[in-house]
Structure 1
Amino acid sequence: MSPLGPDMHERGTRFRVHAPDADRLWLCLFDGQDRETRLPMTRDVDGIWSVDAPGVGEGDRYGLRADGPHHPDAGLWFDPDKLLLDPYAAAIDRPFAYDPMLAAPRGEGGDTAALMPKGVVTPPFSMMAPEPPVFRPGGLVYEVQVRGFTMLHPDIPEARRGTIAALGHPAVIEHLRRLHVSAVELMPINAWIDERHLGPLGLRNAWGYNPVSYFALDPRLAPGGMAELRGAVDALHAAGIGVILDMVYNHDGESDREGPTLSLRGLDARSYFRHEADGRLINDTGTGNSIDCNHPVAQRLILDSLRHFVGAAGVDGFRFDLAPALGRLPTGFDSEAPLLRAMRDDPLLSDRILIAEPWDIGPGGYQLGRFGERWLEWNDRYRDDMRRFWRGDRGMIGALATRLAGSSDIFHGAAATRTVNFLAAHDGFTLADLTAYEHRRNEANGEHNRDGHGENFSWNNGVEGASADPAIQAARRRDVKALLGTLFCSRGTIMLTAGDEFGRTQMGNNNAYAQDNAIGWLDWQGRDREIEAHAFALAGLRASAPDFNDTGWLLEDDIEWLDEQDRPMTVAQWEDADRRYLAMRFRRSGFTILINGDDQPRDFGAVRVPARTVLPIPAERESGARGRAGDRPQS
């Protein structure tokens, strides 16, 4: 099968584009003054248009124009006034910027060439035979929003702040090493466009979950293009840290019927998007459209994109946003759907790490535990149960134990736990804000505080929002440390969002997708050093304790659940809705975790555990003595 997109050769470049319903297609070349030259393309029997462009090579800029019927209700959006990005362009010359003209009906908006980024012809990347992934299940995944991660980092040169290149800086790598990070998970780095309502509000998309290209990197994050990503991956791999990319294949930035025509819509909306029987776009994502992951053309685009990032940059794996969309068949979600099966069986992808966000808003959209053996899955049941336990909800002791042990109730039948345990992620409250806000504070988003999650299982320690009261600050710090303690002492893969290890706050905003500013940027100079030190200590403890990062199921001979008298928990104790404390001991190693969720200290034998504290006690040393209090993390 011939490759789509630009293909450089000795005499120039050949371009191939899929657009079976178009009547005419042009390759549009742009010189240094943005003067346009159009070359007609020729269609073959399979709906592939092509043209050979002599003399066109590395660095030349181009776009596409397509003409044909314009019947949006039938999935036909052809408009030759709309310059289109080649879906296979590996680079673009500038970021996308929303303009109403990009969404104007045919014949009403005029030519959009001046508004559109141009594809840039790039030489073929040296496709590496990738090494096995550095990351292994059971480690720590560190979720990073690339721009906000280093915009305020004092040790990063100003010109590199907010870019992928900054991830390879020694100061960043040292921080990741002290946390024993197994892999960084980069929030979307593909070229994206702002949602149309943000401009009038003076806001812009900061997270990137609105992609236009599945190949080109966003120039704001990667001004050096794929070479910049490859350099960062190499630097992180040299430090023993993997790289996972967050990919958004469930929708694209062309949105609903009123959205812009930028790429896929203008070439072949019928193949790339899902439609109702009456022609309306299906919206199982809440963003206006849904990619048709069952169509062979869309599947090819997705698989080619994944191979591109593995072969050209050597990434370790992928996290998939709203992943049920990738396996939704007409009969419902199926873990053996063609696209999911192809990912599993592809020679270049078969050993990559695959992580599902196992929910969307479509029919049958909640699929936690159902993605199959090759997949790790974000576990929101872990998130909510742990939050509810530390908030003080009654009857949570059994759920606490189940989540600590790997969530066998969710992943039963699997050879090992596939959970990704997390307490906070990019969407929702930060870990610190969980302890300071009972209610979201999203007014800065311009939607009258209606956006974002309404139920966060959060608490405020007596005062809503920021407080100068030392007692309240101490209580909140204690609770953050307890939350971190349960996370690092949980069985299986864990995930921490960048900055939660040192008390980052978004001032109660639990949907900071449009806050490309101090709300969403990490405050490195103002970080809470006490919480950070606690996180480092927990990370070191976990890294030395295979009891936690092992993903195998715990059997009765492996673990003991004990009460405060060091006796096995009784049925009555498990059923006591007011019980908020227990001990978890690994029989072989003797490693013990004492958890006291009460508001008062609790004695476990001779060990007094402060209120609302997780106290890990390492295995016995050769001397027979247990670790001193100063050797282990504690509140």
Structure 2
Amino acid sequence: MESSRSSRPVEVWPGHAAPLGAHWDGTGTNFALWSAGASAVDLCLFDADGTEHRERLQETTHQVWHGRLPGVGPGERYGYRVHGPYDPASGARYNPAKLLLDPYARAVDGELVLDEALFGWDPRDPSSPDPADSAPFVPRGVVIHDSFPWGGDELLRTPWSDTVIYEVHVKGATMRHPDVPPALRGTYAGLAHPAFVEHLISLGVTAVELLPVHHFVSEPHLLRRDLTNYWGYNTLGYFAPHAAYSSAGSRGGQVTEFKAMVKALHAAGIEVILDVVYNHTAEGDHTGPTLSFKGIDNGGYYRLGGGDRSRYTDYTGCGNTLDVRRPPVLALLMDSLRYWVTEMHVDGFRFDLASALARSFHDVDRLSAFFDVVHQDPVVSTVKLIAEPWDVGEGGYQVGNFPPPWTEWNGKYRDTVRDVWSGAKVGVRDLAYRLTGSSDLYRSDGRRPFASVNFVTAHDGFTMADLVAYERKRNEANGEENRDGESHNRNWNSGVEGPTDDPAVQELRARQVRNHLATLLLSTGVPMLTAGDELGRTQGGNNNAYCQDNEVSWLDWAAIDADLWTFVSRAVALRRSSPALRQEAFFEGTEIPGTEVPGSGRTKDLAWFAPDGEQLTNRDWFDTDLQTIGMYLDGRGLRHRDERGRPVAGDSWLVWLHAGPDAVDVVLPGAPWGDGYELVLATEYPTGAPPQPTALPPGAVQLPGRSVWAMRVLRTPVPVPHAD
């Protein structure tokens, strides 16, 4: 298809090759697009009625096609048509019949509409390009200029050890919130509404981790089933806030609304962390649509098969893998990250399937270009960096292997805690590592306990309520005959599958939810709560609700478990007020000078107790039948200092975890460990608050079946209660 001259009086000046994207300078807009193999590039401008006007970019500098158009400014919708060879066997998929989104577009307008014209190959002959024009069915980029009044807003930089993360979906958070105006529900403005922000403040979290907000589209296979991609792990635009989450429209208003959301959350002391998907794009495999990268420079953006370059190397399970080894792709990633920090004031990132980004030739490489560039970047290296340390390729499970300063979603933490509370006979050895920051994973390379982002549930999998109510997934609504989603969930349904009216089962499930959450919030490391778990949210047993943009996934504010919410906020407050529960350094298990009690010795910064009140023996550590453990944390032995160099100290704690079904007698240790113990949090009570009195002397006490106790150590004697 030949380029056509515009009927509009548009003049094209040479412009500049940098920066990439569309940038308005006050009187005109410079357009720049990288494509190494193109023979020509047409810039396509669109009127409000959709009329297209094409301008051939005449200048190319170092593989960047560029031009400046005087008079073209904010609000202009645009795309590209890229000319070149169509030879899938060699990796070339140029097809000017397909309108392509600028990878650097700052805003996106329009929906993806399922049509055969989306696909670059002719269905009658895949070796030939499809001639149908895709423009009516694909979104366009938008030229923007946003002078947002930040008014002194800066990144919060909450210390890692003080961080409590709340993983939440922008739309699902407020779609059913009665106190958020209907026009704002499911939007950035809805998330910033005082009704929702107050929930975050009252809960005590310090950061929201937003499921993907880079502009994304739904996969054709979902659209064919009248479903959509709800989670958003199908990115098309790495600089553009997802337009559908904006109440202000998609002609650039989403940028301002996103910034206003960040500013409002910052004002409440809450950081904003983005879940980002740089490992693959929305274009799928060789049968997928041609929307942007595939038509701009297929071989330049993607990892292609060695022998047959018409196929993609897929480490992601999503059809393709971006080739971060290539400088233009690595530059795209870094430019995007810097943009979200400097222009959008984002405080950090969680990298989806991060192992795919760290692969050099095949293996995951700690010395890959990706790590090198991130670590030396003066902007990106200073914000919170969280890796999902696995992908679907061979050798992709890399928990514990990302280098400093990375933190990681600790999948081993999730698995261990679930095993313990599901009744698996796994003993307590691995649990002890997870409770104290996973030193076995993160200590050897100099990282701190907060390298471990601890979680029991996440967006992907059962909710906390479903974890204790279902053993089998219920994913039929996804349209894949229940084949999708994880089948081995390390969980227990409390004796009955699914909903029940049995009050004994209901009470047990509620306690099991509290046990999981108490374990999470009393563990060293960085806890991550999944939105809705504090409310008792259920997905009806669906453990892969990625395509359920409906009541299955949205938070139900009319069905709140008030006791559970009180329990979680109580546990978060306990954690945030207790330095010993959020250690900045790993425990040593050594005696603490100055804690001597004559005839009884010294305490340790960390000690482990068996039910008989004695410290665990080597034999105990390898006893897979042991289901009860006491963790003693001495607040006088913290090895970090405040900003003025003064030693930090706090309360000492004895935490009991008992996963057995029956009550067990445990002995609270006496001197030098404590003169008494105050029961502060107990999971057998709906809100975690035990009845008065809560002070207990050393000695025997009965711990209920399947329960967690958090006991503050007292340094003054507690009277022994008299028998009636």
Pair 1:253 & 2:249 matched: no
1:484-520 alpha-carbon deviations (Å, 9 max, x no partner): 1100010011111101112211111110000001111
Letter in 2 for 1:510: N
Equivalent position SS for 1:608? strand
User: Which of 131, 135, 146 is the aligned partner of 1:113?
Assistant: 135
Pair 1:308–1:543, CA change in 2 (3 A)? same
Is 1:489 the counterpart of 2:522 in the alignment? yes
Corresponding residue for 2:696?
none
Structure-1 separation of matches of 2:365 and 2:233: 24
Q: Among residues 483, 486, 490, which one is paired with 1:457 in the alignment? A: 490
Conservation of the 8 A alpha-carbon contact between 2:589 and 2:607: yes
**Match in the other structure for 2:506:** 473
Provide the residue aligned with 1:577 in structure 2.
624
Contact 1:436 1:459 in 2 (8 A): yes
- The equivalent residue for 1:75 is 91
Give 1:610's aligned residue. 704
Describe the SS at the equivalent of 2:214.
coil
Match of 2:204 in 1: 180
Q: 1:525 and 1:126 mapped to 2: Cα distance?
A: 36
Tell me the equivalent position of 2:349: 318
**2:266 is the counterpart of 1:237:** yes
Deviation at 1:220, TM superposition (A): 0.9
How do 1:325-364 and structure 2 match up within 5 A? 325-330=356-361, 332-364=363-395
1:323-359: CA deviation from partner (whole Å, max 9, x where unpaired): 0111110162222311222112111212110000000
Task: Output the amino acid matched with 1:222.
Answer: S
* 2:111 and 2:137 in contact (8 A); partners too: no
Whether the aligned pair in 1 keeps the contact of 2:427 and 2:623 (CA below 8 Å) is no
Shift of 1:45: 4.3
The C-alpha deviation readout for 1:532-551, integer Å capped at 9, x for no partner, is 11111111111111112223
Q: Provide the secondary structure at the position in 2 that maps to 1:501.
A: coil
Which is further off, 429-438 or 410-419?
Answer: 410-419
Which residue of structure 1 lines up, in the alignment, with residue 53 of structure 2?
37
* Cα distance, 1:127–1:419 mapped onto 2, change above 3 Å: farther
CA contact (8 A) 1:152 1:524 kept: yes
- 2:303 pairs with one of 258, 274, 281: 274
The structural deviation recorded for 1:101 is: 2.0
Shift of 1:272: 0.7
Identity of aligned residues (%): 43
Question: Any idea what SS the aligned residue of 2:519 has?
Answer: helix
SS in structure 2 opposite 1:197? helix
1:619 Cα deviation (Å)?
3.9
Describe the superposition over 1:528-586 as per-residue Cα deviations: whole angstroms up to 9, x where unpaired.
11211111111111111111222310111311111223221122322322111111111
Deviation at 1:154, TM superposition (A): 1.1
2:104 equivalent among 83, 88, 92:
88
Quote how far apart the aligned CAs of 1:391 are: 0.6
Q: Is the 8 A contact 1:127 1:311 kept in 2?
A: no
Q: Following TM superposition, by how much is the alpha carbon of 1:104 offset from its aligned partner in structure 2, in angstroms?
A: 4.6
Question: Whose Rg is larger?
Answer: 2
- Is residue 498 from structure 1 mapped to residue 505 from structure 2 by the alignment? no
The match for 1:601 among 663, 668, 671 is 663
State the one-letter code of the partner of 2:526: T
Aligned to 2:569, the other structure's residue is in SS state: helix
| Equivalence for 2:412 | 381
- Larger displacement relative to structure 2 (114-123 or 410-419): 410-419
Instruction: Give the aligned partner of residue 653 of structure 2.
Output: 591
Matches within 5 A, 1:166-565: 166-223=190-247, 224-278=253-307, 279=309, 280-330=311-361, 332-413=363-444, 414-417=446-449, 418-557=451-590, 558-565=605-612
Structure 1 residue 607: Cα displacement? 3.5
Task: Give the aligned residue type for 1:294.
Answer: R
Give distance in 2, aligned partners of 1:147 and 1:100.
29
* Counterpart position of 1:7: 23
TM superposition shift of 1:127? 11
Report the alpha carbon displacement of residue 130 of structure 1 after superposing the two structures with TM.
7.8
Three-state SS of the structure 1 residue aligned to 2:334 is helix
- CA deviation digits over 1:268-321, x for unaligned, max 9? 111110012121211111111000011000011111101111011111110000
Which sits farther off after the overlay, 380-389 or 500-509? 500-509
Amino acid at match of 2:617: T
Post-superposition CA distance 1:170-210 (Å, at most 9, x none): 22122112222121000001111111111222211100000
Code of the aligned partner of 1:329: S
Q: Deviations over 1:361-412 (max 9, x none)?
A: 1232111111111101011111011101001111331111111011111113
Q: How many residues align?
A: 626
Residues 244 and 318 in structure 1, CA contact (< 8 A), matched pair in contact too: yes
Tell me how far apart the structure 2 counterparts of residues 415 and 114 of structure 1 sit (CA, whole Å). 51
Contact 1:204 1:516 in 2 (8 A): yes
Q: Distance in 2 between matches of 1:92 and 1:577?
A: 55
Q: Which runs of 4+ in 1 moved over 4 A?
A: 124-130, 623-626
**Counterparts of 1:89 and 1:556, CA distance in 2:** 53
Q: Which runs of 5+ in 2 are unaligned?
A: 1-16, 123-128, 248-252, 591-604, 637-650, 668-699
Residues 13 and 45 of structure 1, relative CA distance in 2, 3 Å threshold: closer
Tell me how far apart the structure 1 counterparts of residues 614 and 427 of structure 2 sit (CA, whole Å). Answer: 20
Contact 2:349 2:384 (C-alpha < 8 Å) held by counterparts: yes
Flag the 1:456–1:67 CA change in 2: closer, same or farther, 3 A: same
How far off its partner does 1:15 sit? 0.6
**Are the aligned partners of 2:607 and 2:615 in contact in 1 as well (CA < 8 Å)?**
yes
Contact 1:61 1:119 in 2 (8 A): yes
Query: 2:177 — aligned with what?
Result: 153
Provide the C-alpha distance between the structure 1 equivalents of 2:433 and 2:296, rounded to a whole number of angstroms: 49
Q: Which amino acid aligns with 1:315?
A: V
Amino acid at match of 1:123: H
Instruction: Report the TM-score, using the length of structure 2 for normalisation.
Output: 0.84
Letter in 1 for 2:169: Q
State the shift of 1:103 in Å: 1.3
Q: Structure 1 stretches of 5 or more lacking a match?
A: 629-635
**Which is worse superposed, 113-122 or 353-362?**
113-122
Q: Secondary structure at the match of 1:220?
A: helix
Q: Kindly tell me: are residues 68 and 553 of structure 1, through their superposed partners in 2, closer, same or farther at Cα, counting changes over 3 Å?
A: same
Tell me which amino acid in the other structure corresponds to 1:217.
P
Give the conservation status (yes or no) of the 8 Å contact 2:44–2:53. Answer: yes
After TM superposition, the structure 1 stretch with the greater mean CA deviation from structure 2, 119-128 or 81-90, is 119-128
Q: Which has the higher contact order (CA 8 A, sep 6+)?
A: 1
SS at match of 1:480: helix
Once the two structures are TM-superposed, the CA of residue 427 in structure 1 deviates from its matched residue by 0.6
**What displacement does 1:58 show?**
0.8
- Decide whether aligned partners of structure 1 residues 308 and 92 sit closer, same or farther in structure 2, where only a CA change above 3 A counts: same
SS in 2 for 1:381: helix
Asked if the contact 1:130–1:311 (Cα under 8 Å) also holds between the matched residues in 2, the reply is: no
Q: Deviations over 1:18-70 (max 9, x none)?
A: 11211111111111111111110024241111122121001111111111101
Residue range with higher mean Cα deviation, 568-577 or 277-286: 568-577
Structure 1 Cα separation of the partners of residues 93 and 452 of structure 2: 42
Q: Is the partner of 1:583 in helix, strand or coil? A: strand
Alpha-carbon deviations, 1:586-614, whole Å to 9, x = none? Answer: 12332111111111122333433221111
Alpha-carbon distance in structure 2 between the residues aligned to 1:507 and 1:491: 32
Q: 3-state SS of the aligned residue for 2:329?
A: helix
What is the distance in 2 between the residues matched to 1:410 and 1:98? 46
Q: CA deviation at 1:169?
A: 1.5
Per-residue deviation, 1:624: 6.0
Distance 2:149 2:394 in 1: 39
Normalised by the length of structure 1, the TM-score is 0.95
Q: Separation in 1 of the partners of 2:457 and 2:294?
A: 35
